[in-house]
Copies of this chain bind each other. A is one copy, B any other.
Amino acid sequence: MKWSDNAWERVKLIYNKILTMPFNTELSNGTLQKEKFIFYLAQDAYYLLEFGRTLSTISGRMQDADLVMAFAGFSTGAIFAERSLHESYFVEFGLANEVKPTPSTLLYTNYILSQAAYANVEIAVAAVLPCFWIYKAVGDHIFAQQTNDQNPYKRWIDMYAGIEFATAVEKAIDITNQLAARANGATQQKMLDVFEMATRLEWMFWDSAYELEKWKV
């Protein structure tokens, strides 16, 4: 049994809750308020930059050339996506370039940044996997439910189903499995722990966008 099988088992309940979150069901059927979608995009742009920094840091902590390359490539991909957001949606919706992160966004980004800098590297890799895997699975789910071209969020949903992202996700899962296979039981458990926490933070990210989360002070 692969580590990723255990990992999916571990987060299945949270994943199922993500699929039925108002943000995702309304995005899927096209009824999501534009304000919430825009709020989400801005937070996503902020997130992607920090995700890229995290992936670069993990790249630096790898010792195998293929893995240094893989994570530097993942980082480039994340920053490229962040730039695309700014150059397309930000212009389209008239958003400011500077985004102030919500508490939930800041929680998620600092969680993965800390794992990358402090934890043993296999654990850091497990912490960034949900942003690949859960995101992809949710995207595929929403994409599969589209029946016509009237959804105003079609362009965004199509991106989810891109082959490039699919390839990156598969590669990220493979790498994590390889690292887990070489780790002992205690490390594999910690990898599951952080994978679960990052999946929970994915849920919070969508929830906070739907709630247009504000800082209390």
A216 to B73, CA, bound (A): 34
The answer to whether A106 and B107 have CB atoms under 8 Å apart is yes
A22-30, A55-63, A151-159, A165-173 - interface stretch: A55-63
Instruction: Give the segment of A35-43, A140-148, A178-186 that binds chain B.
Output: A178-186
Number of copies of this chain in the oligomer?
4
Query: Does A49 touch B at the CB level, under 8 Å?
Result: yes
Q: Which residues of B contact A110 (CB under 8 A)?
A: 107, 110-111, 113-114
A83 within 8 A of B: yes
Interface size bracket, A side? 35 or more
Contact B113 A117 (CB under 8 A): yes
Residues of A within 8 A of B (CB): 14, 17, 49, 52-57, 59-63, 65, 68-69, 71-73, 75-76, 79-80, 82-83, 103-104, 106-107, 110-111, 113-114, 116-118, 120-121, 182-184, 186-187, 200, 203-204, 207, 215-217
